[in-house]
């Protein structure tokens, strides 16, 4: 389980290279990440990771996100670069929110994944088929939490095999379990028992992809 507090010393080490002998404080990290200092303090106390800001930081500083999350040595990463894969991360797209169809032309960044994560998502050959987006809300708890990053395989759209899918409906983009009825209606099922099942016309729904993995924000 990842914790924001565990990452702070590494982030401060990177920032210190630009600050000379000056000591790096939490407020400096907040400024670099573009986070309000009060919000930063709250996230630190709760151990919540600002994934989008961390990804932007890694891209700007040209450091591997695996070093922050998995404590992998830089030398090891350099020696095994060919074993890593990049997938698209659409940081401004949220499942379980309004907004309509998935826009593949939307602004995105790249997430670098290590061999272990690649294996969990289906193997190297599947990486070209995988995109990642954010989860908004608690309707899929405890499976996925608000703020989680989910990885979806665009080529896996057969809902008869079960699983969780990202679907585009007339009312928005959702991450749900799906059940196709004999009358042509499609049930959108939440894992959170406090949410009722929603039914939509299957013909009005686009299966964006099957969720094959996630990165938790807690």
Instruction: Indicate whether 17 and 102 sit together in one domain.
Output: no
> What's the pLDDT at 71?
64
> What's the pLDDT at 80?
46
- Measured at the CA of 129, the angle between CA 135 and CA 119, to 5 degrees, comes to 85
Instruction: Indicate whether 210 and 186 sit together in one domain.
Output: yes
Q: Are 136 and 188 in contact (CB under 8 A)?
A: no
The CATH number linked to 190 is 2.10.109.10
Extended strands (E) in the chain: 85-95, 109-113, 130-135, 149-153, 164-169, 172-180, 185-189, 198-201, 206-215
Q: What is the bridge-based pairing of β-strands 172-180 and 185-189? A: antiparallel
Instruction: Indicate whether 58 and 120 sit together in one domain.
Output: no
Q: What's the Cα-to-Cα distance from 94 to each of 2, 85, 167, rounded to whole Å? A: 21, 23, 11
Residue 24 DSSP symbol: P
| CB burial string 33-52: b at 16+ within 10 A, e below | bebeeeebeebbeeebbbbb
- Give the end of a domain, one of 58, 79, 100: 79
> What's the pLDDT at 76?
46
- Side-chain-facing half-sphere of 151: CA atoms under 13 Å: 23
- Weakly modelled stretches of the chain, pLDDT under 50: 76-81, 98-99, 218
Q: What's the domain range around 38?
A: 1-79
Instruction: Indicate whether 19 and 64 sit together in one domain.
Output: yes
| CB burial string 126-152: b at 16+ within 10 A, e below | bbebbbbbbbbbbbbbebbbbbbbbbb
Instruction: Indicate whether 14 and 99 sit together in one domain.
Output: no
Q: Please confirm whether the linkage preceding 142 is cis (ω < 30° from 0).
A: yes
Separation CA 44–CA 29 (nearest Å): 11
Predicted TM-score (pTM) above 0.75: no
Of 185, 179, 177, nearest to 202 (Cα)?
185
The CATH number linked to 21 is 1.10.260.40
Instruction: Indicate whether 87 and 73 sit together in one domain.
Output: no
Count of structural domains, the chain: 2
> What's the pLDDT at 95?
72
């Amino acid at each position: 389980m990842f914790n924001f507090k565990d990452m702070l010393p590494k982030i401060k080490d990177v920032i210190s290279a630009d600050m000379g002998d000056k000591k790096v404080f939490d407020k400096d990290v907040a400024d670099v990440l573009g986070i309000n200092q009060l919000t930063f303090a709250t996230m630190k106390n709760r151990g919540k990771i600002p994934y989008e800001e961390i990804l932007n930081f890694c891209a700007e500083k040209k450091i591997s996100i695996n070093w922050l999350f998995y404590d992998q040595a830089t030398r090891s990463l350099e020696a095994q670069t060919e074993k890593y894969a990049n997938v698209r991360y659409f940081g401004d797209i949220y499942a379980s929110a309004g907004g309509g169809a998935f826009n593949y032309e939307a602004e995105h960044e790249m997430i670098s994944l290590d061999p272990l994560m690649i294996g969990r998502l289906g193997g190297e050959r599947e990486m070209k088929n995988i995109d990642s987006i954010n989860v908004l809300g608690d309707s899929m708890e405890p499976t996925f939490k608000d703020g989680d990053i989910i990885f979806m395989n665009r080529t896996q759209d057969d809902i008869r095999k079960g699983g969780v899918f990202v679907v585009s409906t007339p009312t928005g983009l959702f991450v749900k379990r799906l059940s196709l009825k004999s009358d042509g209606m499609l049930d959108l099922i939440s894992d959170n028992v406090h949410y009722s099942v929603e039914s939509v016309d299957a013909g009005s729904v686009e299966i964006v992809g099957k969720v094959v993995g996630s990165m938790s924000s807690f």
